[in-house]
Structure 1
Amino acid sequence: MNFDILRIDGVKAKTGIARSTIYLRIEQGLLPKPFSIGGKSVGWLSDEIVRINAARTSGCSNEEIIGLVKKIELERKKFKKII
């Protein structure tokens, strides 16, 4: 797994969507929520965004992507147990 952290501009570049659309998709469950990287800064793991893009390009439905997002967010919780 790649642990490179993307800020909002990186997510915009990788997805091709606007900031407002990113946050709309987060509300819809179509993108994972960002996590704190210190202070008021948030980010996303690059691999998480790549996985969502792969699901979109392979023709997954919104329901399937919502399931993937839930899986991604669960995986984050597992990291905490490992550390």
Structure 2
Amino acid sequence: MSTRFLRLPAVMERTGFSRSAIYARASDGLFPRPVPLGLRTAAWPEHEVEAVLQAHLREAGDTELREIVSELRLQRQQVQIAQRPSTHENPLPLAIGH
């Protein structure tokens, strides 16, 4: 699955929230936190922003929004774990019979 990232101006345009409102909502667990993409660059996965917007369309309350954001955070962590190299694999072949 290809993930598209949205920088802050695009998130602000999509949501109608100000910069401070986005970060305040993220701090309160009502909006996903951005993903660091570099030393001074961060962005939001588009599907996470869309999930929150869909919840707003359903008139979800804060409790439901926190559950959605929590689930998105868990999914992110699972992707990170799945992409880590295994520590059980030895990348170098063993020298046998020297």
TM-score range, shorter chain: over 0.9
Query: What TM-score, normalized by structure 2, do the two folds share?
Result: 0.80
In 1, the alpha carbon distance for the partners of 2:42 and 2:65 equals: 22
Read off the aligned partner of 1:41 and give its amino acid letter. T
Higher Cα radius of gyration: 2
Report the CA distance shift for 1:2/1:13 in structure 2 as closer, same or farther (over 3 A). farther
Q: Which has the higher contact order (CA 8 A, sep 6+)?
A: 1
- 1:34-59, Cα deviation, whole Å (9 max, x unpaired): 11101111111001000000001111
Write the distance in 2 (CA, Å) between the matches of 1:69 and 1:2: 20
Q: Distance in 2 between matches of 1:38 and 1:48?
A: 19
Q: Structure 1 residue 13: deviation in Å?
A: 1.0
Q: Which has the higher strand share?
A: 1
Following TM superposition, the consecutive aligned residue runs of length 4 or more in structure 1 with deviations greater than 6 angstroms are none
Q: What is the CA RMSD across the aligned residues, in angstroms?
A: 1.1
> What's the TM-score once normalised by structure 1's chain length?
0.93
Higher helix fraction: Structure 1 or Structure 2? 1
Structure 1 alignment gaps of length 5 or more: none
